[in-house]
Amino acid sequence: MDVMLPRLRPAPLLDRFGRVEAFVGQWAREPRSVGAVCPSGAHLARRMAAMLPPGDGLVVELGAGTGAVTGALLACVPPERLLVLERLPAFCHLLRSRFPDLNVIRGDAARLADYLPANRPVAAIVSSLPLLSLPAPLQTAIVQQMRAATAHEGCIIQFTYALWGRSPLSRAGCRCEKRDLVLCNLPPAKVERFRNA
Ligand SMILES: C[S@@+](CC[C@H](N)C(=O)[O-])C[C@H]1O[C@@H](n2cnc3c(N)ncnc32)[C@H](O)[C@@H]1O
């Protein structure tokens, strides 16, 4: 006789637990560069994706981690329009198995120009990088790279858990043209969209 056992945890939930576990593990090894104890929430990810400008240019995601924001971006743009950059090998592995059609590059955002295709303007950079917790020289190098990559009418979408105070992007001369508070996230977050002033 076949006995149908109930599934105690549905597969998507199991996947999510696995991703949280992987994230916490990486955070314990490198707290400053991972910058958060748990992945971005689905609500925050959707609000970042909602800031994408219209058009069909390249979208570059920086610091994709376990892919919460990546998933929300893929609901808005096809995989061939999205380039994902992540520094940690374990996260790259996870991203590639979760999104097999996606161009996931293991690399450092401070060398962003090295990974961008020639003659393809960047419409938007979507960044989960913990800019405020990175060492100052690295932060400066990354901000310079972001500005250079979006010099031709691109924008930069950045989230932060610092609800008050100026972003390193505005301190570097970028103009904030849109701001959104996402209280429904743990912890609450701020999403900003910048242009080269
Ligand atoms: C706040 S976590 C990303 C959270 C992600 N949205 C998620 O839900 O998993 C920041 C990510 O930026 C990555 N990161 C930090 N410094 C980086 C750098 N210089 N270049 C590329 N990625 C970097 C970290 O490895 C980490 O995955």
**Domain residue ranges of the chain, discontinuous segments joined by +:** 39-196
For residue 88 and ligand 1, the question of a CB distance below 6 A is answered with: yes
Task: Give me ligand 1 centre to Cα 120, in Å.
Answer: 24
Q: Is the pLDDT of residue 4 over 80?
A: no
CATH of 39-196, picked from 3.40.50.150, 2.60.40.3500, 3.30.300.30, 3.30.70.1140, is: 3.40.50.150
Instruction: Please report the pLDDT score of residue 100 as a whole number.
Output: 95
Task: Give me ligand 1 centre to Cα 33, in Å.
Answer: 7
Instruction: Please report the pLDDT score of residue 145 as a whole number.
Output: 98
Phi, psi of 67 (to 5 degrees): 100, 15
The pLDDT confidence band at residue 140, using thresholds 50, 70 and 90, is very high
CA distance 67 to 76: 15
CA nearest 102: which of 79, 122, 135, 81? 79
**77 Cβ contact partners less than 8 Å away, ≥ 6 residues apart:** 52, 59
Instruction: Please report the pLDDT score of residue 17 as a whole number.
Output: 76
Instruction: Please report the pLDDT score of residue 28 as a whole number.
Output: 82
For residue 39 and ligand 1, the question of a CB distance below 6 A is answered with: yes
Q: Is the dihedral of CA 99, 19, 40, 26 positive or negative?
A: negative
**155 Cβ contact partners less than 8 Å away, ≥ 6 residues apart:** 53, 123, 124, 125, 177, 193, 194, 195
Q: Comparing 30-39, 64-73, 114-123, which segment has the lowest mean pLDDT?
A: 30-39
Look at ligand 1, atom 11, and give the residue with the nearest C-alpha. 63
CA distance 107 to 177: 29
E strands, the chain, are 58-62, 82-86, 103-106, 122-127, 155-160, 174-182, 189-196
Instruction: Please report the pLDDT score of residue 14 as a whole number.
Output: 54
Task: Give me ligand 1 centre to Cα 184, in Å.
Answer: 21
Task: Give me ligand 1 centre to Cα 177, in Å.
Answer: 24
Task: Give me ligand 1 centre to Cα 107, in Å.
Answer: 11
Mutate to test the pocket of ligand 1, among 129, 139, 186 (most ligand atoms within 8 A of CB): 129
- Higher pLDDT pick, 8 / 183: 183
